[in-house]
Amino acid sequence: MSVSSRTLIALFLTGVSLGACDKQSAPHEQDNAVTAGEVTGGSSAQDKAARYQVDRSKTGSELPDHAFLDAAGKELTLARFKGKPILVNLWATWCAPCVAEMPQLDRIATSYAKSGLQVIPISQDTMEPEKVVAFFNAKGFRTMKTWLDRENAFGFGYGGGVLPMSVLYSSQGTEIARIIGAPDWEGAEMRALIEEAVNE
C-alpha cells in the first residue's frame, strides 16, 4: 500500500472516529495536551458513540485575523469581540453533527450571556449564504447570530479539517482550548471549560 493510500485511509478513520464531518485537510499531529471524550448527552446509540477531542496544544495563541461576514454582508474580524470570552464554532448546514449541536450552543450562549461569553458560529458553507440565514431564521435561536466564512479562512487557518470545530478564547483574546467534534456542550467537561474562560 502506498504512503498516500495509507494517509487517505487514516484521514477517513479520523473523521469517522470523531463522529464529525471531514471537509478540508488532515488534522495536525497533536501532542499530549489532547484528550478524547465521548458524547453522552444524546439519546441514540449513534449519538452516544460520537467522539470529540479537547486540544490544549495551542493554548495562548492569539485571535486569528481572518475576515468573515455578518448576515448583511459586512466584513469583520474576531478583534471586534475581544474583551469578553469567545467561543468560535465552525460548522456547515451539510454537516449533521454541526446542525445537531446548534440548539445546545444557543442554550449555552443564552445561559452564559450575563457572564459575557460570546458564542460565534461561523458557517463554512461556501455557496448560497441565504441558506445559512434561512437555517438560522427557521431554528429561531435566542442568542446566536449568523456569521459567514465563504472562503473557509477559519477552517484552513485552524488546520483541523474536521467540522464541527470550536475554539475557546479568553477575554484577552488568547486561546484556551480547541474542541474537535461535537461534545455534549451542557455536560460537565464543556461546562468546566466555559467556566474557565468566563472566570479567568
Q: Is the pLDDT of residue 24 over 70?
A: no
Helices (H) and strands (E) in the chain, counts: 6, 11
Measured CA to CA, the distance from residue 163 to residue 97 in angstroms comes to 8
Q: Which of these, 30, 27, 32, 36, lies nearest to 7 by C-alpha position?
A: 27
Which domains, from first to last, does the chain contain? 3-198 (3.40.30.10)
Sheet of 118-123, strand order: 34-38, 51-55, 175-181, 165-169, 86-91, 118-123, 147-148, 68-70, 75-76
* Residues of the chain above pLDDT 70, percent: 75
Q: Read out DSSP for 77-93? A: -GGGGTTS-EEEEEE-T
Mean pLDDT of the chain: 82
Residue 76 confidence (pLDDT): 97
More confident residue, 39 or 167: 167
pLDDT (tens digit per residue) in 76-88: 999 999 999 999 9
Q: What is the pLDDT of residue 19?
A: 53
The x, y and z cell numbers of residue 12, run together, are 477517513
Query: Quick check: 166 pLDDT over 90?
Result: yes
The residues, any chain, with a CB within 8 Å of residue 7's CB and separated by 6 or more, are 26
Distances 1 to 7, 25, 101 between C-alpha atoms, Å: 10, 21, 37
The pLDDT of residue 195 is above 60: yes
The helix, strand and coil proportions of the chain, stated in percent and rounded to the nearest 5, come to 35, 25, 40
pLDDT of 141 over the 80 cut: yes
51-100 tens-digit pLDDT: 899 999 999 999 999 999 999 999 999 999 999 999 999 999 999 999 99
pLDDT of residue 21: 83
Residue 200 has a pLDDT of: 83
Whether the per-residue pLDDT at 38 is higher than 70: the answer is: no
* Residue 32 CA neighbour count, 13 Å, CB half: 0
